[in-house]
């Protein structure tokens, strides 16, 4: 049976791992290569690297980092963060990334999704969406959560899938950093709305949050950063608990 996926996310800036709370207050949580190796060894199912570096050197350092990760890591990994052109996608995939996550660039230029999917297949295109619940709607934000696009989360997700995204990575900006649990209602709706794998991100604070995620929604992956980096939740224990709760998980 297909297992649910536990996915640590490594936010990278200038080659180091950082994680903010509600996208502010960046803290250094280690060297990406040793952290990645550690996660692969203790049973992470996949890894996501999001590069938030905003300098001109970004491109070169990110490609070099991806090449190093690929040498060491024998589980799949996704790379994202400011990917806005097919040339960078080419470089990342050729250097060992399995998938690329595209966020703001898809809002500016939705054809990029078609282009990457057409060239490499839907399986390597992760459409990342940051969204915030405002009044009764879920609105998509771009540029690291600073710009309200006015797009509806569900309609936008559907469009991205129609354009060739093979997976959706949905981050709830309301829940991110709160450790109060995943955004269950929105995830229920989203995972019924699109028929590709959905990774839930934002809000994980405890083992129980993952049990709820996989029991109550069709999400196929749960992503978190600081709770893994700082040891609040240990992946082997998390997987044991999921297994005990009857959730299909790789142990």
Shortest Cβ distance from residue 18 to other proteins (Å)?
26
Of the residues 32, 166, 202, 222, which one makes contact with other proteins according to CB under 8 A = 166
Q: How many residues bind other proteins (CB under 8 A)?
A: 33
Shortest Cβ distance from residue 250 to other proteins (Å)?
4
Q: Which of residues 70-99 bind other proteins (CB under 8 A)?
A: 70-71, 74-76, 93-96, 98
Binding of other proteins by 40 (CB under 8 A): yes
Which residues have CB under 8 Å from 246's CB, separation 6+? none
Torsional class of 177: left (φ above 0), alpha (ψ -120 to 50), beta (otherwise): left
CB count in 10 Å sphere of residue 63: 18
The stretch near other proteins (CB under 8 A) out of 17-25, 133-141, 145-153, 195-203 is: 195-203
Q: Which of residues 219-248 bind other proteins (CB under 8 A)?
A: 220-221
**211: enclosing H helix or E strand:** helix 207-216
Between 20 and 221, CB nearer to other proteins: 221
Q: What is the spatial distance between Cα 121 and Cα 164, in angstroms, rounded to a whole number?
A: 8
3-class SS string, 184-250: HHHHHHHHHHCCCCEEEECCCCCHHHHHHHHHHCCCCEEEECHHHHCCCCCHHHHHHHHHHCCCCEC
Binding of other proteins by 103 (CB under 8 A): no
Residues belonging to the active site: 11, 130
Binding stretches for other proteins (CB under 8 A): 1-5, 40, 45-46, 70-71, 74-76, 93-96, 98, 119-124, 166-167, 195-197, 218, 220-221, 250
């Amino acid at each position: 049976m297909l297992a649910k996926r536990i996915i640590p996310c490594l936010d990278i800036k200038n080659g180091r791992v950082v994680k903010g709370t509600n996208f502010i207050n960046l803290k250094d949580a280690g060297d990406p290569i040793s952290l990645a190796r550690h996660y692969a060894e203790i049973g992470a199912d996949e890894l996501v690297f999001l590069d938030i570096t905003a300098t001109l050197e970004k491109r070169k350092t990110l490609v070099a980092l991806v090449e190093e990760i690929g040498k060491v890591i024998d589980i799949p990994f996704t790379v994202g963060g400011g990917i806005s052109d097919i040339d960078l996608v080419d470089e990342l995939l050729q250097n060992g990334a399995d998938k690329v996550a595209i966020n703001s660039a898809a809002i500016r230029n939705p054809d990029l999704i078609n282009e990457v999917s057409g060239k490499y297949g839907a399986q390597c295109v992760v459409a990342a969406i940051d969204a915030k619940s405002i009044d009764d709607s879920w609105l998509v934000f771009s540029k690291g959560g600073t710009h309200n696009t006015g797009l509806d989360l569900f309609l936008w997700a559907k469009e991205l899938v129609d354009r060739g995204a093979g997976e959706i990575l949905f981050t709830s900006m309301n829940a991110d950093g709160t450790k109060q649990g995943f955004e269950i209602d929105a995830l229920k709706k989203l995972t019924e709305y699109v028929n590709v794998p959905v990774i839930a991100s934002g809000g994980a604070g405890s083992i129980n949050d993952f049990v709820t995620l996989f029991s109550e929604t069709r999400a196929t992956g749960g992503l978190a950063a600081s709770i893994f980096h700082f040891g609040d939740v240990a992946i082997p224990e998390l997987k044991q608990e999921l297994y005990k709760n009857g959730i299909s998980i790789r142990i």
